[in-house]
Amino acid sequence: METKILSTSEYDIELAGKILADGGLVAFPTETVYGLGANALDEEAVKKIYQAKGRPSDNPLIVHISRKEDIVPLVKEITPKAQALIDAFFPAPLTIILPKSDKIGNVVSGGLNTVAVRMPENEVARKIISASACPIAAPSANTSGLPSPTRAKYVIEDMTGKIDAILDGGDCEFGVESTVITLATDIPTILRPGAVTKEMIEKVIGKVEIAKAVLEGMKNDEVAASPGMKYKHYAPKAKVVIVNADKTEYEKFVNTRKDAFALCFEEDNIHIPKVTFGKNNDDLSQAKELFDALRKLDEMGAKKVYARIPNTNGVGMAVYNRLIRAAAFDIIDLKKPFTIGLTGQTGAGKGYIGKYLAQLGFTVLDSDKYVAQIYENNFEFLKKLQAQFGNNIIINGKLDRKALANIAFSSKENTQKLNHIVHPEVMRLCKKDADGLTVLDAPQLFEANAQDECYKIISVTAPYEMRLERIMKRDKISKEQAQQRMNAQLDEEYYINHSDFIIKNNGEDIKNQVDKIINEIL
């Protein structure tokens, strides 16, 4: 099929309207993204939209109108809240969902009994709809699954040969699709955030909810309030990972990545290949650039992309909502003090792995060293120990470690008391020294309740006999003493159930196991 490229001239707008009225497909600009239009009342024409996009047939389309009153025949009833939204916002990047009238067929509505309606703000869009003299069903004019097109050239890339015409109206103003709100539920619910924000809507109709799927991934068996939310969306070919970090942390992290691209803000100081999406603290600029940036990354051949996290309020919620879908919900959380918590059974070979992680460039904090340090010369800490375990543990102002061990390990209760004093102090000091990509190497990570301070937890396990031998040799102790120590620890199952990754140190290539895990984490 030959695809005509049209301009915004009166003649071409009339022509676009005529093609639509005759059952053809025309892509046209709106203030959000380019839409791929067909006569919404012509089921055969609408079917062609799904074909051209490769869109699943259960994902309904938005019906576009050019005058407020044109919504009336499309819906069962205009509720007071719907009327209030129409009065306050239309024309706008806002789509409202209401129970549908008999005029709306099952192809447009994806088999649902509701219909989504929007009156675009973009004047060219309204002129085209008006010229067609029919309501226009129009999803974003991209191939299904790719980022929505914010420039005509992307529509040309995706749709040439598949549709009748593309009307080039320049770049889209907002760059993310309209806010979608359903009024067909008890409490109005935002199914997709856009440039008309929750705050703006609540000023007009009171409390609205945000559908859970807007900011979180959906479980496989969950039913989507909006079918579009269940598909992996807006995805470039590259693997995108969002980095939850402030500017400095982000720069530091990204600048040490190899073979990767940064998807960052204009102000960010980045030394690897990058594409920017707007300015920090300017959510409108981020919205406008995001989809364009995702497409550019593909053009540049990016395979792995680390994206800066946007704020999630105002229009930022729309930006974040699109970006986490592009990233398939993959977020590295560097806001936690420790990137990796490294723990495991005594004698399993944790120390070796800690050393290897240091070679890989991580800051590795050995909690045992901090314990030794506070026993050595932390006066405040010694005073606490003395208050708990008596004056006998201090001799000449110095800790008598043997005396302390005798009391502290005489009963489970005393051991716990000691831990309650030691662990918080060790954690406080480790957190102070955490810097960028940091590993907390702590045999008692779970006992110290440090799991929530770590982004990912790696536990090391090894066969019993192997550990026993290692401990006896390392600490020069008897078999019985070694067994006693091992029995006082958490069992293997606990580590397996509470860790993100398990390294089995049974003689297999450890470095290879670590490399694989780090590759997955970062």
**In Å, what is the CA distance from 140 to each residue of 33, 212, 294, 327, 518?**
6, 23, 16, 20, 37
Q: How far apart are CA 31 and CA 177, in angstroms?
A: 9
Gap between the Cα atoms of 193 and 26, Å rounded: 26
Which of 60, 236, 278, 337 touches ligand TXA (CB under 6 A)? 60
Contact (Cβ atoms closer than 8 angstroms) between residue 437 and residue 481: no
- CA–CA dist 437, 441 (Å, integer): 13
Q: Does 97 bind ligand TXA (CB under 6 A)?
A: yes
The residue to which tokens 């040439």 are assigned: 160
Q: Is residue 189 close enough to count as binding ligand TXA by CB under 6 A?
A: no
- Is 33 a binding residue for ligand TXA by CB under 6 A? The answer is yes
Minimum CB–partner distance for residue 491 and ligand TXA (Å): 47
How does strand 398-399 pair with strand 394-395? antiparallel
Residue 40 contacts which entry, ligand TXA, Mg ion, none (Cβ below 5-8 A, type-dependent): none
Q: Which stretch binds ligand TXA (CB under 6 A): 25-33, 38-46, 294-302, 451-459?
A: 25-33
Residue nearer to ligand TXA on the CB measure, 169 or 344 = 169
122 binds Mg ion (CB under 5 A): no
For residue 103, give Cα distances in angstroms to 22, 47, 457: 18, 16, 56
Task: Measure the CA–CA gap between 429 and 442, rounded to whole angstroms.
Answer: 13
- C-alpha pair distances (Å), 1 with each of 140, 165, 184, 380: 20, 10, 40, 81
* Three-class SS state of 140: strand
314 binds, among Mg ion, ligand TXA, none (CB under 5 to 8 A by kind): none
Shortest CB 22 distance to ligand TXA, Å: 21
Shortest distance, position 148 Cβ to Mg ion, whole Å: 5
Q: How far is CA 351 from CA 256, 331, 367, 383, 451, in A?
A: 25, 28, 11, 31, 19
Number of residues that bind ligand TXA (CB under 6 A): 28
Find where tokens 């420790």 sit. 338
CB-based contacts of 74, cutoff 8 Å, min separation 6: 40, 63, 65, 100, 101, 103, 104, 115, 117, 135
Pick the binder of ligand TXA from 3, 39, 59, 122 (CB under 6 A): 59
| Residue 341 engages ligand TXA in binding (rule: CB under 6 A) | no
**Which residue's CB is nearer to ligand TXA, number 191 or number 440?**
191
Please pick, from the candidates 16, 20, 46, 62, the single residue that binds ligand TXA as defined by CB under 6 A: 62
The yes or no reply on residue 32 touching ligand TXA (CB under 6 A) is yes
Q: Does residue 30 touch Mg ion according to CB under 5 A? A: no
CB of 359 to ligand TXA, least distance (A): 47
Query: By the 8 A CB rule, do 112 and 198 touch?
Result: no
* Shortest spacing between CB 37 and ligand TXA, in angstroms: 8
Q: Which stretch binds ligand TXA (CB under 6 A): 28-36, 405-413, 431-439, 460-468?
A: 28-36
Q: Which of residues 107-136 bind ligand TXA (CB under 6 A)?
A: 109, 112, 114-116, 118
With CB atoms as reference, the residue minimizing the distance to ligand TXA is 228
Nearest distance in Å: CB 371, Mg ion: 55
- Other residues' Cβ atoms within 10 Å of the Cβ of residue 198: 19
Alpha-carbon distance 223 to 504, whole Å?
39
Q: Which range binds ligand TXA by CB under 6 A, 58-66, 250-258, 410-418, 477-485? A: 58-66
The residues, any chain, with a CB within 8 Å of residue 174's CB and separated by 6 or more, are 31, 32, 93, 194, 195, 284, 287, 288
Cα–Cα distance, 348 to 272 (Å, whole number):
38
Smallest gap from Cβ 195 to Mg ion, in A, equals 15
Q: Considering the complex, what minimum distance in angstroms separates the CB of residue 191 from Mg ion?
A: 13
- Single out the residue of 132, 189, 226, 343 in contact with ligand TXA (rule: CB under 6 A): 226
Q: List the interface residues with ligand TXA, window 493-522 (CB under 6 A).
A: none
Q: How far apart are CA 509 and CA 522, in angstroms?
A: 21
Task: Kindly state the helix (H) or strand (E) to which residue 117 belongs, with its residue range.
Answer: strand 114-118
Query: 36 vs 293, which CB is nearer to Mg ion?
Result: 36
Instruction: Find the largest Cα–Cα distance for the chain.
Output: 99
Piece of 221-229, 241-249, 343-351, 497-505 that binds ligand TXA (CB under 6 A): 221-229
Residue 138 touches which of ligand TXA, Mg ion, none (CB < 5 to 8 A by kind)? ligand TXA
Pick between residue 30 and residue 339 the one whose CB is nearest to ligand TXA.
30
Question: Which residues are within 8 A (CB) of 115 and not within 5 positions of it... i.e. 6 or more apart?
Answer: 60, 63, 74, 75, 97, 98, 99, 100, 101, 104, 108, 109
Q: How far is the CB of 180 from Mg ion (least distance, A)?
A: 11
Q: Is 140 in the site for Mg ion (CB under 5 A)?
A: yes
Using CB under 6 A as the criterion, which residues of the chain lie in contact with ligand TXA when the complex forms? 30, 32-33, 35, 59-62, 93, 95, 97, 109, 112, 114-116, 118, 138-140, 177-178, 180, 191-192, 226-228
Using CB under 5 A as the criterion, which residues of the chain lie in contact with Mg ion when the complex forms? 140
